[in-house]
Amino acid sequence: MSDVHVPFTDERLPNGLRLIIAEDHLAPVAAVNVWYNVGSKHEQPGKTGFAHLFEHVMFQGSANVGKAEHIALIQAAGGSMNGTTWLDRTNYFETMPSHQLELALWLEADRMGTLLAALSQENLDNQRAVVKNEKRWSYDNRPYGSWSEKIQEYLYPEGHPYHHTTIGSMEDLDAASLEDVGQFFRTWYAPNNAVLSVVGDVDPAEVRRWVDHYFGAIPANASFPQLGDLSLPPTIGGEIRETVTDNVPLPRIYWGFRSPAFGDPRLDALDLAGQILSGGKGSRLHRRLVRKERLAQDVSFFSMGFVGGASITAGWATVRPGVDLAVVEAAYWEELELLTREPVTADELQRAKALIESDELGALQRTEERADRLSMYATLFDDPDMINRMLDRYLSVTAEQIQAVAADVLRPDNRVVLTYVPKVAPPDGDAQDVPGEAGSDDKQVVA
């Protein structure tokens, strides 16, 4: 049905490392992408932010690589690299001129096998300070910066592994010790907890030889701690509201909903709903709130997929000066409700699919993106071929499926409503009907 076709091979080394190779010689580029099956969901109480802090330590050297040398070698080879941590995983990736592929494989193997040989208190303290500045920069010193943390806390109950953010808390970061880092490495960083994808201008036989040479002797772990049952009731069971007073000039309303887990086809339908609600000028929320009624400065609606129990579906509207917050909230909500009552039109659905198709084709033109998706689908679903089926899944979603998932998810008893209001009188000085105006940071649960 769709034009997506990424051929690949999928195998395992005797030590359990899963190797996926996708050959494509269009550009002289090779991408290496390692997903470790460990994310912030695996963190223990009192040790939040640890998976991410550890990701930083992975750039501080290993047995044969000095501090910050990993990045120096990659850049001097004309490559780019990074690492990211998320609730479900940690990944590390390099995009290289193809004749420099072997270097990237050697570097990934050296830290997978011998990270602790180079670990020092000085490096840990340095990266702890860097990560704390990352938290200040990304959350604490940013207008509306606390929204994602709050939504996550409300949608996942205390004790659920998704209850806390990947960045963690300052207290837990301060408490992280060398022994904690060592323990984390020994627990999670092993070939049989990783997927290595190598994509692009490569010779598969040569890749196998190199991977075997560099990774083959790294021992497997006997076992990994198992997460308990992450399943959750489909809804949060009552409305949650909070008004947050922040250093912002315009009020903003955030919505959060508990939604189906990543991989559930109903989440595909919600992605289509996101396109129809807020994907550009022709979308419903933009058309009504921004263009027609001019209530909002901007609008948004999207989902973040997670495999454990439930995903997050969220959205926001930034309120224009002088507009009553309650009016904006009501108009936004009406659009969500409409989605639950009537099927979207055939034309809306066709346009949304056409845009998603272009986006997918655009993304998959990049070697780095293909490598990331292969690792992702292998790690989360044991099914790297999803890279070739995901677009067809989107293209097969029906208007009825969108309506059905909207009715399941976009319910008053499944919503978190965060209202950010300015510390000082908002522009135009009009009296505003602020929900929960009594004080800042008041939380209430409306059953």
Partner 1 sequence: MTDIVVKERPTPGTPRPYQFPPFERRQLANGLNVLVVDLPGRPLLSAQLVFRSGAADEPADQAGATVLAARALSEGTKFRDAIELTENAERWGASLHAEAGWDAVTAGVAVSAARLLPALELLAEMVLEPAFPEAEVDRLRDERLNDLLQAKADPRRRAEEEFALSIYRGSPYGRPMGGTRETVAGLNRDRVEGAWARWFDPARTTLVIGGSLAGLDVHHIASTLFGAWDRHPRAVVPGDISADSAVESRFVRVVHRPGAVQTEIRIGHPGAARRIPDFHAVSVMSAILGGLFNSRMNMKLREEKGYTYGASAGFDLRRSAGPFGTRAAVNTEVTVPAVQDMLAELDRIRDGLVSRDELNAARDFLVGIFPLRFETPGAVVGALGGLVSMGLPDDELNLYRPAIEAVSAEQVLTAARAHIQPERSAIVLVGDADAFGADLEAAGLGPITIQRDDAGRTQEPGAADAAD
For the segment 204-233, give every residue that binds partner 1 (CB under 8 A): 210, 213-214, 217-219
430 touches partner 1 (CB under 8 A): no
CA angle at 323 for the pair 319 and 329, rounded to the nearest 5°: 60
363-382 footprint of partner 1 as x/- string (CB under 8 A): --xxx---------------
How many residues in the shown chain lie near partner 1 by CB under 8 A?
95
Q: Rounded to an integer, what distance in angstroms lies between the CA atom of residue 327 and that of residue 110?
A: 58
Q: For partner 1, which is the closer residue by CB, 320 or 411?
A: 320
Chain positions 270 to 299 lying near partner 1, rule: CB under 8 A, are 280-282, 287, 290-291, 294, 297
Judged on CB neighbours under 10 Å (0-12, 13-18, 19+), 347 is: exposed
CB atoms within 10 A of CB 353: 17
User: Could you say which of 44, 68, 177, 407 contacts partner 1 (CB under 8 A)?
Assistant: 68
Chain positions 347 to 366 lying near partner 1, rule: CB under 8 A, are 347, 350-352, 354-355, 357-358, 361-362, 365-366
Question: Min. distance of Cβ 382 from partner 1 in angstroms?
Answer: 26
CB 81 within 8 A of CB 94: yes
CB 191 within 8 A of CB 17: yes
User: Could you say which of 14, 76, 177, 441 contacts partner 1 (CB under 8 A)?
Assistant: 76
Question: Min. distance of Cβ 40 from partner 1 in angstroms?
Answer: 18
Judged on CB neighbours under 10 Å (0-12, 13-18, 19+), 169 is: middle
Q: Which two tokens stand for residue 97?
A: 């001129």
183 touches partner 1 (CB under 8 A): no
400 touches partner 1 (CB under 8 A): no
Q: Rounded to an integer, what distance in angstroms lies between the CA atom of residue 213 and that of residue 315?
A: 48
Q: For partner 1, which is the closer residue by CB, 24 or 337?
A: 24
Query: E strands along 47-201, which residues?
Result: 80-85, 90-97, 194-200
Question: Min. distance of Cβ 63 from partner 1 in angstroms?
Answer: 4
174 touches partner 1 (CB under 8 A): no
Cα 238 to Cα 241, 359, 413, 436: the distances in Å are 10, 36, 4, 17
- Using the contact rule CB under 8 A, the part of the chain among 47-55, 151-159, 393-401, 424-432 near partner 1 is 424-432
